[in-house]
Amino acid sequence: MLRLAYGILTSESGEGVVEEEEDDIFLVPNATMLVELVLFAVVLFVVWKFVVPPVAAAMAERQEKIARQNADTEAATRKLAEAQAAYENAMADARAESNRLREEARAQHKAIVDEAAAAAQARADEITAATRAQLAAERDRALASLQSDVAGLAGQLADRVVGEQV
């Protein structure tokens, strides 16, 4: 570009300008590369100074949050395992208590049934004894009554047979 300006100033006719433009190298004219490198450095500095810190802070915050969530998850997993173990222990204790109560109830039931059977047997024995005594008394009365009736009937029969009163 500077060559073009230099060519315009030094040449007196328009023909010289056309020749200078043809000789000009497009990719690296004068200090363009250096200016582009400086601009890239400035953009890189601005990005590094103003864009990277908030993004890095957001990433660090996100990583910290993920680490906290992982720690919370591990703690919750441990608590769940502890609660599960406590639940299993409580269920085992409840089963043992249930079995103990069931056996105790069976023993009480057996004792009550045995006691009731013994009481029923005693009552049956009392009733049987009373009935036997009553039957024996009835039998004795019946025998006494029959003996007195038989004696009276025997006397009457003897009177009839003999014809006289005995």
pLDDT of residue 111: 94
Helix axes 15-23, 2-10, angle to 10 degrees: 160
DSSP string, 64-91: HHHHHHHHHHHHHHHHHHHHHHHHHHHH
Does residue 25 contact residue 2 with C-beta atoms inside 8 Å?
Answer: no
pLDDT of residue 45: 96
pLDDT of residue 19: 47
Global pTM reads: 0.43
What is the distance of C-alpha 116 from the center of its chain?
45
SS3 of 125, please?
A: helix
pLDDT of residue 51: 94
CA pair distance 140, 43, nearest whole angstrom: 139
| Furthest C-alpha separation in the chain | 208
CA pair distance 79, 85, nearest whole angstrom: 10
Q: What is the pLDDT along the chain (166 residues), one digit of tens a residue?
A: 555 555 555 554 444 444 445 555 555 567 788 888 999 999 999 999 999 999 999 999 999 999 999 999 999 999 999 999 999 999 999 999 999 999 999 999 999 999 999 999 999 999 999 999 999 998 888 888 888 888 888 888 888 888 765 5
